[in-house]
């Protein structure tokens, strides 16, 4: 019995797909790419869950396993990974309807000047004192966030008729309504600072932005994590563009490392966004506080050991 053209095409497509899948896994094994891909998955899932880009996880790993890389290259790789993670996570969060695009767009625009400046000056700034101060601030913020988390931060007293405040009302894909108000001036100032700090330290900035949005700007936690990822997508992409213009991605090994990490980050970000709906606000804040403590201690450690 003769096969139809459609059947032959379907069989050929399945055969080709099988070859590509086997070739992909063979490539992972031959190129020692399994660990980077798995690391990318963890970075994507955990970073997206707490609204961060994952740079706070990646930078220490790169410093430990690839000590031959210069700080500039480590930062460039981290920002590229943060960009991929943020874009993938934003796509997932967009489906949930929890991104405040109005606030996120404004904050993202304010991160751009700081982001460009941070990339340009990172190699000229004496970072030891700055890292010590910033590491201490992160540890203090971690303790503050952990203690603050004992209070209910899932709701927000809406402040109206006050200068500089903007009232928002969002309904997510599941019909849950979020009402809150935030101070635009404070939000813009925080965004400029995050934009500068992010490329200097090689972290996404969400690990700072989310606590600031929740505790100082009074965003609901789930809105803050989703909106933070949207902001990161813009900010990190700008940083990557500046790094590219400076030639930070001219090495084939650097590009290969980014691609391998991205293989795990893209699906990991989808998983993180999915589970964010199933985890309570206080649990996310607890995770954030722990991450801040780890990052702060890592920065302090590097300040005294890396010269």
Measured CA to CA in angstroms, residue 287 lies from 66, 246, 253, 268, 279 at distances of 27, 35, 33, 17, 11
Confidence (pTM): 0.73
Residue 87 makes CB contacts below 8 A (sequence gap 6+) with 233, 237
Residue 206 makes CB contacts below 8 A (sequence gap 6+) with 47, 50, 51, 52, 53, 86, 225, 228, 229, 231, 232
Could you give the CA distance from residue 98 to residue 81 in angstroms, rounded to a whole number?
A: 23
pLDDT at residue number 280 = 74
pLDDT at residue number 192 = 92
pLDDT, tens only, 163-179: 778 889 998 888 889 99
pLDDT, tens only, 22-47: 554 455 444 566 778 888 888 888 87
Using the 8-state DSSP alphabet, how is residue 150 labeled?
A: T
Using the 8-state DSSP alphabet, how is residue 168 labeled?
A: E
Residue 62 or 160, more confident: 62
Mean pLDDT of 259-271: 86
Could you give the CA distance from residue 190 to residue 187 in angstroms, rounded to a whole number?
A: 5
Look-up of token digits 């890292």:
131
Backbone angles phi, psi at 53, to 5 degrees: -85, -15
pLDDT, tens only, 114-162: 888 888 877 776 657 767 777 787 788 788 767 765 554 444 555 556 7
pLDDT at residue number 189 = 93
pLDDT, tens only, 225-258: 899 989 989 888 888 998 899 888 988 888 888 8
pLDDT at residue number 144 = 72
Residue 108 makes CB contacts below 8 A (sequence gap 6+) with 191, 230, 231, 233, 234, 235
pLDDT at residue number 186 = 92
Could you give the CA distance from residue 218 to residue 230 in angstroms, rounded to a whole number?
A: 18
Q: Burial level of 209, CB count in 10 A (0-12/13-18/19+)?
A: buried
Mean pLDDT of 80-94: 87
CA 250 from centre of chain: 24
Give the chain's mean pLDDT: 78
Q: Which residues pair with 180 in a beta bridge?
A: 168
């Amino acid at each position: 019995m003769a096969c139809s053209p459609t059947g032959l095409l379907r069989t050929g497509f399945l055969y080709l797909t099988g070859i590509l899948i086997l070739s992909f896994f063979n490539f992972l094994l031959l190129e020692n790419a399994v660990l980077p891909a798995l690391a990318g998955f963890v970075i994507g899932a955990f970073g997206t869950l707490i609204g961060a880009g994952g740079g706070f996880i990646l930078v220490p790993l790169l410093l430990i396993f690839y000590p031959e890389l210069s700080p500039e290259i480590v930062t460039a790789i981290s920002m590229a990974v943060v960009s991929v993670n943020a874009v993938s996570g934003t796509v997932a969060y967009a489906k949930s309807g929890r991104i405040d695009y109005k606030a996120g767009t404004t904050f993202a625009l304010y991160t751009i000047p700081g982001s460009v400046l941070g990339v340009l000056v990172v190699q000229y700034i004496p970072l030891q004192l700055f890292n010590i101060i910033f590491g201490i601030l992160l540890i203090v913020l971690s303790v503050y966030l952990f203690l603050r988390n004992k209070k209910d931060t899932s709701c927000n007293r809406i402040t109206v008729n006050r200068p500089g405040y903007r009232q928002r009302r969002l309904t997510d894909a599941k019909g849950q309504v979020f009402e809150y108000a935030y101070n635009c001036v404070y939000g813009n100032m925080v965004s400029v600072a995050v934009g500068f700090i992010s490329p200097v330290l090689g972290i996404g900035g969400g690990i700072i932005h989310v606590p600031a949005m929740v505790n100082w700007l009074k965003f609901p936690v789930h809105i803050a994590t989703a909106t933070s990822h949207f902001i990161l997508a813009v900010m990190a992409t700008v940083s990557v563009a500046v790094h590219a213009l400076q030639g930070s991605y001219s090495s084939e090994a650097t590009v290969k490392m980014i691609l391998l990490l991205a293989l795990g980050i893209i699906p990991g970000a989808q998983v993180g966004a999915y589970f964010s709906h199933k985890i309570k606000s206080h649990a996310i804040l607890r995770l954030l506080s722990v991450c801040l403590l780890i990052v702060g201690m890592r920065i302090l450690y590097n300040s005294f050991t890396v010269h």
